[in-house]
Amino acid sequence: MSSTLSFEVFPPNTQVGTEKLITTLEELQQLAPDFISVTCSNNRQTIEETTLRVADYIHTELQVPTIAHLPAAYLDQAQVQRLVTRLDQIGIHQILALRGDIIPELPPKQDFTYASDLIDYVKQQAPHFHISGACYPETHPESQNRIEDVKNLRRKVAGGCDQLITQLFFDNELFYQFQESCDLADIKVPILAGIMPIVNRKQALRLIKTTNTKLPRKFLAILEKYEHDPIALKEAGLAYAIDQIIDLATQDVAGIHLYTMNNAEVAKHIYYNTKNVLKGQIEVR
Ligand code: FAD
């Protein structure tokens, strides 16, 4: 069985970043991904200028299947309707329906309390849209426990969510346990594994500070040993991600969703070291 390979990018804040992203996207296109998804900051007022603009470029210019992330906690129905209509006009019929993080000092709007509310709404307004949802192998931080979290996930799927994409994780065993919980809860849609290759110290430190993701001993050892050796850290971080992907593909994961951090070099390295395992193809020389 083959597994899909997709990439996630984020809209940059600067003109230089935008120009760099265009080059990155052209390089990603060469890898023929199953789709590229574009993140969306949930406190930006101008989704049209950020996420939609990048998504439009990927879909229209590069002709790569595109998923636009849509966090809706700070949007009302009329705004979502407008965004869905705009996506429809561009020809993008795929979204990642999200609630988004709640900003402590900013009360959310009332229309979409949970991602499942957004999924219900979009399915009603645009039944032809393919909808992805987020999921959490290590449980969403606001959830009491996995059972509650998976029950809530089942609502998303019952509402019409067609596939799930996981939060990043570094311990594949946790992903397999989560898959089993989903299976028991009769969640049968494809679950794509979110993988983030760690390639520099700043990224690693930020991760340790902000995430509640389990960092396995093998992973922590890499960070510790190569903390001050950027080249070795990158090499070991890429090897770790490749090892994760090979294990997941061998266990027939539905797909790998690579958090590229807008870095085409990293995506290419991962691609060339996993493509035959993911696609199950044998290259004839
Ligand atoms: P929900 O599915 O609504 O879940 C949020 C919490 O509420 C969970 O604890 C859940 O168990 C609980 N819950 C859900 N439904 C119910 C219910 N009916 N009753 C009671 N409790 C319920 N954020 C961004 O801002 N922009 C992005 O581009 C972005 N991309 C992401 C991509 C992926 C693959 C992932 C995994 C996350 C992404 N996020 C993004 C982060 C996400 O927005 C946050 O994790 C957010 O806190 C939860 O969003 P959600 O859609 O999973 O919420």
Write the DSSP symbol of residue 153.
H
So what's the pLDDT on residue 42? Answer: 78
Tell me which residue has tokens 């969403």: 140
Contact by Cβ (8 Å): 191, 166: yes
Which residue from 39, 99, 120, 156 has its CB within 8 A of the most atoms of ligand 1, so it is best to mutate? 99
Cβ of 24 closer than 6 Å to ligand 1, yes or no, is no
Distance from the CA of 270 to the center of ligand 1, in angstroms? Answer: 27
Q: How far apart are CA 61 and CA 31, in angstroms?
A: 16
So what's the pLDDT on residue 16? Answer: 85
Whether the per-residue pLDDT at 281 is higher than 60: the answer is: no
Residue 35: its H or E element: strand 35-38
**Average pLDDT, integer, range 189-195:** 98
Cβ of 263 closer than 6 Å to ligand 1, yes or no, is no
Token pair in block for residue 211:
């995430």
More confident residue, 206 or 154: 154
Whether the per-residue pLDDT at 283 is higher than 60: the answer is: no
Distance from the CA of 134 to the center of ligand 1, in angstroms? Answer: 6
Beta pairing partners, 42 = none
Q: How far apart are CA 131 and CA 28, in angstroms?
A: 23
- Count of helices and strands (H, E) across the chain: 10, 8
Write the DSSP symbol of residue 109.
P
Contact by Cβ (8 Å): 26, 64: no
Contact by Cβ (8 Å): 97, 132: yes
So what's the pLDDT on residue 282? Answer: 57
Distance from the CA of 83 to the center of ligand 1, in angstroms? Answer: 19
Cα–Cα distances in angstroms (integers) from residue 144 to residues 168, 174, 254, in the given order: 20, 17, 27
Residue 256: its H or E element: strand 255-259
Whether the per-residue pLDDT at 45 is higher than 70: the answer is: no
Cβ of 191 closer than 6 Å to ligand 1, yes or no, is no
- The rounded percent of the chain whose pLDDT value lies above 90 is 87
Residue whose CA is at the smallest distance from ligand 1 atom 51: 98
**Average pLDDT, integer, range 41-64:** 90
Q: How far apart are CA 103 and CA 71, in angstroms?
A: 12
Beta pairing partners, 192 = 165, 255
- Residue 1's pLDDT band (boundaries 50, 70, 90)? confident
Write the DSSP symbol of residue 261.
T
